[in-house]
Amino acid sequence: MNDAIKIVVVGNGMVGHHYVEQLRQHCPAADITVLSGEPRLAYDRVHLSEFFAGKTADDLMLTSEAHYESLGVRFLCNAWVENIDRQSRQVWLTDGRHLVYDKLVLATGSYPFVPPIPGNDQPHCLVYRTIEDLESIQASAAQSRVGVVIGGGLLGLEAANALKQAGLEAHVVEFAPQLMAVQLDEGGGKLLREKIEALGVRVHTGKATERIVAGNQSRYRLEFKDGEALETDLVLFSAGIRPQDSLARQADLAVGERGGIVVNDRCQTSDPDIYAIGECALWQGRIFGLVAPGYQMARVAAGHLAAGDESFTGADMSTKLKLLGVEVGSIGDAHGRTEGALSYQYQNQPLGIYKKIVVDAKQKRLLGAVLVGDSSDYDTLLQYALNGIELPKYPESLILPSSSEKPGLGADALPMTATVCSCHNVSKGDIVSAIDEGACELAAVKSCTRASTGCGGCSALLKNMVDTELAKRGVEVKKDICEHFAFSRQELFHLVQVEKIRTFDELLNQHGQGLGCDICKPAVASILASNWNEFVLARAHVGLQDTNDTFLANMQKDGTYSVVPRVPGGEITPDKLIVIGQVAKKYRLYTKVTGGQRIDLFGARVEHLPEIWRELIDAGFETGHAYGKSLRTVKSCVGSTWCRYGVQDSVGTAIDIENRYKGLRSPHKIKMAVSGCTRECAEAQSKDVGVIATDKGWNLYVCGNGGMKPRHADLFAQDLDTDTLVRYIDRFLMFYVRTADRLQRTSVWLESLDGGLDYLKEVIIGDSLGLAGELEAQMQKVVGTYQCEWKTAISSEENLKRFRQFVNADKPDANIQFVEERGQWRPATAEEKNRLANSQAIPVRQLTNDTQSA
């Protein structure tokens, strides 16, 4: 086509401006004239509400006179077209001027629909469309106190934001039963309403306005069909748009029954020399009221003039935006109206998040989605929907919190009221306040809030929160494990391994300072055990252990200890059950079966621990490591041996796995499980390492956990043979032991890895770091040097000296008392002890050294 062709563009909104730029690229020598009906050139209508936040009209401009001049584009502002003479190919303006065209492009956009409500034409009854409209709203707001938007769609909520930013008490009146009824389902609309009302905008749904009359307290009163009313000083109509097609009607171009200039796939009207793009165009019965489809039309029309073959084939109407600061996303068939459609929903009421995906009947394709409060998944979901990407095996994983959503799992995700330390009822707000008041170190925060000074279960979360808050304030966050070592746990691990350091004193002398503390000592003890697997109560190591490791048992609230023999895979013989029963009966221990398929014996006095363990070891039991940061249990179902659904021997595999890793010391406790089929009776997908049988082998899951912040494990590898399964677990566990932070669970560790699960797969399966052989060898060394710590302890008289209640006396602690309940013995309460002191008869026992009851 001749580049000197005369092209007239009627309309200089966002789409008209985009067309001009595209056209100049396709036709460098074309004679282009742009007609803008407004007193200025194109500006950004999407961000109009920012006008009330301080932006000027110039700030919103998309182009300038100088820019158009540099493109060789003529332009006229305040230029309204009166009619089009298709025969002579002329456009006549209202001021009498006329322009000749070879090709005419109508980018006239749309106009606001004002419902035919009596009283809608009064002063201070306005629309929200142009900068001039904003100036009128601003002038009216200066004389008003209350403002009402009629319309609760996208534009209506933007208009409500404008009123709020203008300082008015803002209301939204919507005829439909919910906000954004086109884009959102009922659940999303409900949450959006809650969030917007929480921001100070009143929402009134299901309201049909019958008339606007004079008000009593305000300028006007909106009277609704249901008899209710709402008074306001300003009415802002935002009830939808209508295509600006009057010129097309005058020129006898084809228009739709309900408006819109009919176009074909090239965006040509019924006259092939006239194009229509944007909100004025009707393609296959549809008006596209978003900017992106308009831009697509502009590119097609500009390309067609340059003999391009691009076609407009419809456009995705998905949208992601912030309404009054609330993140909202809508994709495709958000309402699930497609035949056979299924949906998954996730809602987090405390955080104000609602997510829904709509999938096809075969659960293979994403049809639509709704996101309110958190649109971080929008881009991923949009790609699934637009490209027909096959969904993962568990489609719900696309909207559930996962390791890829670090903000959703970190300290920032918690509200200020969240309890961080349940022992001392310390909230996030308490911690933030402590930092604001000058506590700029973890130790100082602990000191003034007492957080993490109880059970210590919140220590990792507390550190993450303190580091996050300090970083926000521009404070350098050091990763030093404590004041005695200017290294992280990972760096200390490498120093111990590379320099073959065997003791804490050696490490302190070479790389630390001072005497050490209750942070670095247990951490180094764990590092030494992971590397060299020496007896933790050896003279060089015993002083590093915490209370539980010092006595190889968990201390309970009354000063007694628990005894937990290992029961690999949960399998136990009747003879061993009898022994446990006999020991429990002899020492009158409270007996309970745990969730990890073991038997806990509670109430053992420290001086009785060696005697109890001697009897258990003689019967073939080993320590269960319930006291250590190490492997606790490997839970199993009965598998193919007994279960009619089982496809693999889950018990045998669980026993083998537990026996392999039972001596491994790690940054945090580790739990595993093996299920014999996908019915998942062993709950493997909630464990640090989970194994599920398939008819082809084993599926491996990693980095799940229960506890304070439960996390579903991630599928790591599928259909593995047993040897490969063990190799992957070897590598995974040793990589975790090497690189995790102090007291960091596998789930939190995974979140901290750059690249997350994909990176972990590259390291473990793909051996991207070349460490596979080294990790396997190191694990084999741990396996080969295993020792039952209790068996070693009772074989040494020196070790046994440790197990005394008092250093200078053999008598037991008289304060340890028990009462009988449900046929077992439990610790006496303070009240019960007082009653005993006052000689009031209650069933009570006090164990002496010969285990006789008093």
The predicted-structure confidence for 479-513, as pLDDT tens digits, reads as follows 788 888 988 888 899 899 888 999 999 999 999 99
Q: What is the pLDDT of residue 853?
A: 36
CA dihedral 169, 172, 177, 183 (to 10 degrees): -120
Q: What is the pLDDT of residue 852?
A: 38
For residue 147, the surrounding DSSP H or E stretch is strand 146-150
Question: Where do the domains of the chain lie?
Answer: 6-110+243-305, 114-239, 319-400, 411-472, 489-545, 629-789
| Dihedral sign for Cα atoms in the order 553, 558, 560, 563 | negative
Stretch among 288-302, 329-343, 840-854 having the lowest mean pLDDT: 840-854
> What whole-number distance in Å separates Cα of residue 781 and Cα of residue 786?
9
Q: What is the pLDDT of residue 307?
A: 81
Q: Which residues fall within 8 angstroms of residue 17, CB to CB, at 6 or more apart? A: 41, 42, 62, 63
What is the CATH class of 411-472? mainly alpha
Checking if the pLDDT of 812 tops 90, the result is no
| Domains 6-110+243-305 and 411-472 fall in the same CATH topology | no
Q: Per residue in 816-842, pLDDT tens?
A: 788 888 888 888 877 777 776 665 555
> What whole-number distance in Å separates Cα of residue 674 and Cα of residue 653?
7
Residue type, 371: L
CATH architecture for the domain at 114-239:
3-Layer(bba) Sandwich (3.50)
Q: Which residues fall within 8 angstroms of residue 666, CB to CB, at 6 or more apart? A: 526, 530, 629, 630, 631, 733, 736, 737, 740
Question: By CB neighbour count within 10 A (0-12 exposed, 13-18 middle, 19+ buried), where does 90 fall?
Answer: middle
Q: What is the pLDDT of residue 228?
A: 94
Q: Per residue in 654-666, pLDDT tens?
A: 999 999 999 899 9
Q: Per residue in 523-570, pLDDT tens?
A: 999 999 988 989 988 888 888 888 788 888 888 877 888 999 999 999
- State the binding site for siroheme: 681
Stretch among 137-146, 432-441, 728-737, 765-774 having the lowest mean pLDDT: 432-441
Residue appearing with tokens 């021997």 = 649
CATH architecture for the domain at 319-400:
2-Layer Sandwich (3.30)
- State the binding site for [4Fe-4S] cluster: 637, 643, 677, 681
Reported confidence tier of residue 723, pLDDT bands at 50, 70, 90: very high
Q: Per residue in 401-440, pLDDT tens?
A: 753 333 333 566 566 766 666 555 678 888 888 888 888 8
> What whole-number distance in Å separates Cα of residue 530 and Cα of residue 109?
70
* Mean model confidence pLDDT for the chain: 86
Tokens of 788: 């039952």
> What whole-number distance in Å separates Cα of residue 410 and Cα of residue 422?
18
* Total number of residues shown for the chain: 854
For residue 111, the surrounding DSSP H or E stretch is strand 110-112
Contact yes or no for 744/738 (Cβ under 8 A):
no
Tell me, which fold does domain 629-789 have in CATH?
Sulfite Reductase Hemoprotein; domain 1 (3.30.413)
What strands lie across the sheet with 714-720, from one edge to the other?
631-636, 670-675, 689-694, 697-702, 714-720
The rounded radius of gyration (Å) of the Cα atoms in the chain is 36
Q: What is the pLDDT of residue 742?
A: 86
- State the binding site: 637, 643, 677, 681
Superfamily of domain 6-110+243-305: FAD/NAD(P)-binding domain (3.50.50.60)
Q: Which of 476-480, 546-550, 645-649, 706-710 has the highest mean pLDDT?
A: 645-649
Tokens of 642: 């007994």
Strand partners, 369: 331, 357
> What whole-number distance in Å separates Cα of residue 817 and Cα of residue 814?
7
- Name the residue with higher pLDDT: 442 or 692: 692
- Closest residue by Cα to residue 645 from 673, 678, 619, 621: 678
| 3-state SS assignment for residue 685 | helix
| 3-state SS assignment for residue 259 | coil
